[in-house]
Amino acid sequence: METVNVLTPAVRQTAISGMERLRADFPILGIRVEDKPLVYLDNAASSQMPQIVIDRLVRYQKTQHANIHRAVHHLSGIATQEYEAARRKLQCFISAREEREVIFTSGTTDSINLVMHGYGRKFIQEGDEIILTALEHHSNIVPWQMLAEEKGARIRVVPINDAGELLVEEYEKLFNSRTRFVGLSHVSNALGSINPIKRMIATAHQHGVPVLVDGAQAAPHLKIDVRDLDCDFYAFSAHKMCGPTGIGILYGKAHLLESMQPFKGGGDMITSVSFEKTTYNEIPYKFEAGTPPIAAAIGFGAAIDYLEQIGLDAIAAYEHELLVYASEQIRALPGVRIVGDCQNKVAVISFVMDGIHPHDVGTLLNQDGIAVRTGHHCAQPIMQRFNVAATSRASFSFYNTKKEIDTLVEGIRSVQKVFAQ
Amino acid sequence: MSLKSIYQEVILDHNRKPRNYGALRSPSHHATGHNPLCGDRIDLDINMHDGRIDEIAFRGESCAICKASSSMMTNAVKGKSFQEAEELIREFREMLVDGIEKDFDHLGRLKVLAGVRDLPTRIKCAILPWHTLHAAMNSVAGATTEADDHEDQLVANNH
């Protein structure tokens, strides 16, 4: 992570000592599991919510709720204003040129499906090719497979090496005159690898091909600048970054969004309707049919405020410290192997243990109050690549501590002890 | 019994030394069980003669709970008739999935697996071999833990 190196040791130290104090912002971190303090290390699946975001949701429901973009009354005005303010916060957060380039969706999966239906079904034809990577989450594979099947298009896959890094040279060789689209994860959910997407986007653009970036695992940990990346689409979800479930965004370049057909039809996405002809609304509303999760969108805005207050650079620096510490500790354990141990990654550690199935690891760690994810992480192609059925995954957030990593390492040793008897 | 002791005393014994592990040379019945959630997969071979399970063997990649359940199941049904095995499957489900409160002492060693009931996310691991046995005996090619939800629903709907 480039951001780590620019921080002086003093700044880094301040960031680290400040971070542990933030735990108090998260009520759920105080609960006990199996009569042990909760050690929550499943942040890549979903992060926890700070009190300030919870309070924002409550304040909205108690004093500001009505439907948006509809009525002339007081509450509808406030709700609309707050909903659109949240959109502007997201726009600034990712440095988008215009706020209409930010579409609220129900999450990353919904965003990707929107692009598949709105862009893919319109512009991808029989014999065309779509490039995806071996690191994709199922949500950036399955929609494109559905499209490929419908259209008779073909999917090409960028391979990875043993460290879990994309083979960029192989990627560059995949382009030909039939390449129409690239779908790319910024950060792998199963391994944590950070992909060199800026370079990969530039390559695609040399061939005139647009790129969708699945940023679900990147946005909580890295500063995202869609103009600097020059990506055509970027998608992520609130619930992985201290916000509520059921809300996320799709960023898209305005001219692309304008060229696309609507994904869902309904209210709010039209300017006029008659049984003869319907005129669609402008972007972003063209893609926001029906009443959106207004409270969740506003809560998302509050989560963005919270993260920006801490600073994404400070978050990245602190989480990198956690990653380095945890990697050293886990690597030192005999009988434990980290899967996808590449240089450039976010604070995610996927590991397997000799002779012990990940589900047994997860169940026994839970006895010590430790929450990790076990399974294939909705990324079965990665599991196949590494020839494992499943892994255990510890994924960290800025509210985790080195002490919790020690508890995890103790927990892993204790699992080994149970199995050694 | 605490979870750790279930692991230590029973599950690990069968995990390390699974009974009836392997393949039968020419099984009369076979099925593959699959848990798409965790990638667990077991293959079950049976030789049925005159409606009785003469021989049974299993193999596959799975977690300790699934392997122990498979191992103990093969011990329990060997020599049993089709009806007796189906009855055992039904009772095992009652104990683990339906959570029926009754005396399961007659299940013998299998009773220890009742502890898995407290781990809702792991019940499927324990039940997979039993589904597979049912599928094999009824000459269905495969079983999946996902059918379990469906069956539960049907059961629930019938109540």
Q: pLDDT tens-digit profile of A357-384?
A: 999 999 999 999 999 999 888 888 888 8
Q: Which residues sit opposite A394 in a β-bridge? A: A349
Q: Note the helical H segments in A332-385.
A: 358-366, 380-385
**Range A275-301 average pLDDT:** 93
The verdict on A383 touching B (C-beta cutoff 8 Å) is: yes
Q: List the single residue in A356, A364, A375 with the smallest CB-CB distance to B37.
A: A375
Rg (C-alpha) for chain A, rounded Å, is 22
**Range A205-212 average pLDDT:** 98
The rounded mean pLDDT for chain B is 84
- pLDDT recorded at residue B154: 27
**A5 pLDDT more than 60:** no
Tell me the per-residue pLDDT of A10-65, one tens digit each, with 9 for 90 and over: 556 666 667 888 999 999 999 999 999 999 999 999 999 999 999 999 999 999 99
DSSP state of A25: G
Pairing of strands A129-133, A154-158: parallel
Q: Are the CB atoms for A50 and A25 separated by under 8 Å? A: yes
Task: Kindly report the CATH number assigned to the domain that includes residue A20.
Answer: 3.90.1150.10
Q: A251 and A193, same structural domain?
A: yes
Residue A88's pLDDT band (boundaries 50, 70, 90)? very high
Domain boundary among A255, A282, A308: A308
- pLDDT recorded at residue B12: 79
Of A166-180, A204-218, B45-59, B99-113, the one with minimum mean pLDDT is: B99-113
* C-alpha to C-alpha distance for A217 and A393, rounded to whole angstroms: 14
Q: A220 and A74, same structural domain?
A: yes
Q: Note the helical H segments in A74-224.
A: 74-93, 108-115, 121-123, 142-151, 168-173, 197-206
**Range A136-150 average pLDDT:** 97
Q: A252 and A196, same structural domain?
A: yes
In chain B, the domains with their CATH numbers are: 3-158 (3.90.1010.10)
Domain boundary among A253, A277, A308: A308
Of A86-100, A360-374, B32-46, the one with minimum mean pLDDT is: B32-46
**A4 pLDDT more than 70:** no
Residue A8's pLDDT band (boundaries 50, 70, 90)? low
**Range A286-315 average pLDDT:** 96
The rounded mean pLDDT for chain A is 94
Q: Which helix (H) or strand (E) holds B85?
A: helix B82-96
| Test mutation, A34, A42, A353, A359, chain B, max B CBs within 10 A | A359
- pLDDT recorded at residue A254: 98
Domains contained in chain A, number = 2
- From chain B, pick out residues whose CB is under 8 angstroms from the CB of A356: 64
In one letter, which amino acid is A230? D
Does the beta-carbon distance from A357 to B38 stay under 8 Å?
yes
Q: Which of residues 385-404 of A touch B (CB under 8 A)?
A: 389-390
Residue A295's pLDDT band (boundaries 50, 70, 90)? very high
Pairing of strands A270-273, A278-280: antiparallel
- Residue B39 CA from chain centroid, whole number: 16
**B26 pLDDT more than 60:** yes
Domain boundary among A261, A286, A308: A308
- pLDDT recorded at residue B156: 26
Q: A354 and A279, same structural domain?
A: no
The values of phi and psi at residue A128, to 5°, are -75, 160
**Range A179-200 average pLDDT:** 97
**Residue range(s) defining the domain that contains residue A140:** 54-308
Of A182-191, A377-386, B149-158, the one with minimum mean pLDDT is: B149-158
Report the number of secondary-structure helices (H) and strands (E) in chain A.
16, 17
Tokens read off for B51: 């409606």
The verdict on B118 touching A (C-beta cutoff 8 Å) is: no
Q: A88 and A41, same structural domain?
A: no
Q: A75 and A8, same structural domain?
A: no
* C-alpha to C-alpha distance for A114 and A94, rounded to whole angstroms: 19
Q: Which residues sit opposite B10 in a β-bridge? A: none
- pLDDT recorded at residue A171: 98
* C-alpha to C-alpha distance for A295 and A101, rounded to whole angstroms: 21
Distance from the Cα of A410 to chain B's closest Cα (Å) equals 15
Q: A63 and A23, same structural domain?
A: no
Q: A247 and A296, same structural domain?
A: yes
- pLDDT recorded at residue A14: 62
Which among A344, A383, A337, A378 is positioned nearest to A361, based on CA atoms? A337
> What residues of A are labeled active site?
378
Tell me the per-residue pLDDT of A404-415, one tens digit each, with 9 for 90 and over: 999 999 999 999
* C-alpha to C-alpha distance for A157 and A182, rounded to whole angstroms: 10
Q: A326 and A288, same structural domain?
A: no
Tell me the per-residue pLDDT of A224-269, one tens digit each, with 9 for 90 and over: 999 999 999 999 999 999 999 999 999 999 999 999 999 888 888 8
Residue A7's pLDDT band (boundaries 50, 70, 90)? low
Residue with tokens 């699934």: B66
Q: Vertex A344, ends A132 and A334: CA angle to 5°?
A: 105
